[in-house]
Amino acid sequence: MSYPPPHPTDARLLATELLEISWSDGSKLHYPPDHLRASCPCAQCAPTVPTEAPKTTRDFVGVRIRSLGEIGSYAFRIAFTDGHELGIYTWPKLREVGFPEGHAPKPLELPVFEV
């Protein structure tokens, strides 16, 4: 490609716990925390054997984003409230897993049991 791929121009946590990233091409993408957590690219989260099922949002119900740090203008390191902070989300990865504004699924709620 002869043009630079888009990079974030702004990133903030919305009151709804969604991460919102504005991109240099003018687009704005939304990231539910449980989706981000489920798509963590680190070696610890990726399935270690091909038969192992990939993680889904059901594995991370109630998880929120704790902090966000930029790494060398190519990625964000995202820390989550479940204590996980190894995930390095590159710009292409974030473009891939983001939802257009208004189309992000709501995070699953913790189940409430009748007693």
| Backbone φ and ψ of 58, nearest 5° | -65, -25
Q: Is 40 an interacting residue with respect to Zn ion (CB under 5 A)?
A: yes
Site string for Zn ion, 7-36 (x = CB under 5 A): ------------------------------
- Read off the DSSP letter of residue 68: E
* Cβ distance to Zn ion smaller for residue 14 or 42: 42
Write the CB contacts of 65 (distance below 8 Å, at least 6 apart in sequence): 13, 17, 19, 33, 36, 78, 79, 80, 81
Instruction: Count interface residues toward Zn ion (CB under 5 A).
Output: 6
**CA dist list (Å): 112 to 18, 26, 109:** 22, 40, 9
Q: Candidates 5, 12, 42, 100: give the one binding Zn ion (CB under 5 A).
A: 42
Please, what is the minimum distance in Å from the beta carbon of residue 87 to Zn ion? 4
What are the residues binding Zn ion (CB under 5 A)?
40, 42, 44-45, 86-87
